[in-house]
Structure 1
Amino acid sequence: MVCTLDDVLRERGMTLTELAERVGVTIANLSVLKNNRAKAIRFSTLTAICETLDCDVGDLLRIRG
């Protein structure tokens, strides 16, 4: 899986810090996700990110191919 969080943030004109504050997670945890080092993510966190960014899971996570 590849995380495209950086691209979605850029499209929305939002910083990682702003997203972290809105979602209620640490910048460090979002950074791990953004840099493709996450081994897992809670559904509640993924849902909150998608709701905040007004996107779908498929906009954030892609299967390498």
Structure 2
Amino acid sequence: MADDADGHDIEVHLDRLLAERGMTLTELAQRVGVTNVNLSVLKNGRAKAIRFTTLTRICAVLRCQPGDLLSYRPAPPADNS
């Protein structure tokens, strides 16, 4: 089980992808058709879910695969000694 406050071990790499493409979060939000706030929540790792339609549009605009945007990083096991 994840030990972070959000209950998941998914990392979002939106900052890196935006920097690599010279794009702002505001520009991406406009091109994807979502609010800046919703993308900011995703970018900062606070999102609880993402719609496949939104993920599809992000990937289309950024020309990437979902695995470029998201990765699973399991938390190390807790030391219960």
The bucket for the TM-score relative to the shorter chain is over 0.9
Residue 73 of structure 2: aligned partner? 64
Which structure has more helix as a fraction of its residues? 1
User: 34, 45, 63: which is aligned to 1:36?
Assistant: 45
Taking CA–CA contacts closer than 8 Å with sequence separation of 6 or more, which of the two structures ends up with the larger relative contact order? 1
Q: Which amino acid aligns with 2:35?
A: T
Residue 62 of structure 2: aligned partner? 53
Q: TM-score, normalised by structure 1?
A: 0.98
Mapped to 1, the partners of 2:72 and 2:19 lie a distance apart of: 20
Structure 2 residue runs without a partner (length 5+) = 1-9, 75-81
Q: Which amino acid aligns with 1:50?
A: C
Structure 1 residue runs without a partner (length 5+) = none
CA displacement at 1:10 relative to structure 2: 0.3
CA displacement at 1:8 relative to structure 2: 0.3
Give % identity: 68
RMSD of the TM alignment (CA)? Answer: 0.6
Runs of 4+ in structure 1 off by over 4 angstroms are none
Q: TM-score, normalised by structure 2?
A: 0.79
Structure number, greater radius of gyration: 2
